[in-house]
Amino acid sequence: MRKTIILIVSILFFNSFVLDAQTDRGRIVVGGTSTFGLMGTGNDVMSIGVSTIKFKSDIDGFEEDEADKVTSINFIPKLGVFAANNLLIGLDISLAYQKNTNGGNSDDTYSRRLISAGPFVRYYFPTNSIKPFIEATSSFGSIKSKSEDEDYSDESTDRLTAFGGGLGVAIPIGDKVSFDILAHYTSFTTKDKEDNDNNNRVVVGTLGLKLGFVVFLGN
């Protein structure tokens, strides 16, 4: 039992020392995360998972169709450098895809493809072992939407602007890798790229989780 306790303490101490060293000025970071949406409307393209949607009613004669299927995936690679001890600045690139399939007709689909990029700033609190951090992000890009069925197809492109931030923890794994958990809030604004003299736009607030891995490069 004593040996087990000593081993656990030694591992925590070693990971603490390593992560402290890796957040020093000049270190380079690469990584990637995925976003799990928890709350929001109209912007599920930035969540991840497979969902089903059923329409129900107690009205007489109502016939329930097969469930609609919604598939969403995303990936956010990042690259950064420590401008000062514990202060990381860098670039996020957001890639996402969503497809909605009509349960009653598999040829009736609606899909969206998102690509955007923008700077982020992250500060690691100088604590032992697990490191809390705060992060602020921004992103600029576009969302391409496509609707199609057996007889019809239509495409449109919207501009995307997003700002957000959150609080997370970096859990050290080995000597140069951390597993990140970030609770974040993001405000998305989308609007038509063409024929939008009145600047009509949709603003969506999304609360979610970002989970991913970060690799600290350099000696």
The CATH number that applies at residue 190 is 2.40.160.20
**Mean predicted lDDT score pLDDT of the chain:** 80
* Residue 60 domain-assigned (yes or no): no
pLDDT digits (tens, 9 = 90+) for 125-179: 988 788 999 999 999 999 898 988 777 788 888 899 999 999 999 999 988 899 9
Q: Model confidence over 183-211: pLDDT tens digits?
A: 998 888 888 877 777 788 888 888 888 89
pLDDT in tens, 80-122: 999 999 999 999 999 988 888 877 666 788 888 999 999 999 9
- Residue 16 belongs to a domain: yes
Determine, yes or no, domain membership for 59: no
Q: What is the pLDDT of residue 21?
A: 60
Would you place residue 42 in the very low, low, confident or very high pLDDT band (cuts 50, 70, 90)? very low
Residue 58 inside a domain? The answer is no
Identity of the residue numbered 110: Y
Q: Is residue 61 part of a domain?
A: no
Q: Is 167 within the bounds of a domain?
A: yes
Band the pLDDT of 44: cuts 50, 70, 90. Answer: low
pLDDT at 77 over 80: yes
For the chain, percent of residues with pLDDT exceeding 90: 33
Q: Which domain holds residue 176?
A: 2-53+66-217
Q: Is the residue at 175 inside a domain?
A: yes
Residue 203 inside a domain? The answer is yes
Q: Region 64-92: what's the mean pLDDT? A: 88
**How many structural domains does the chain have?**
1
Query: What pLDDT does 181 receive?
Result: 94
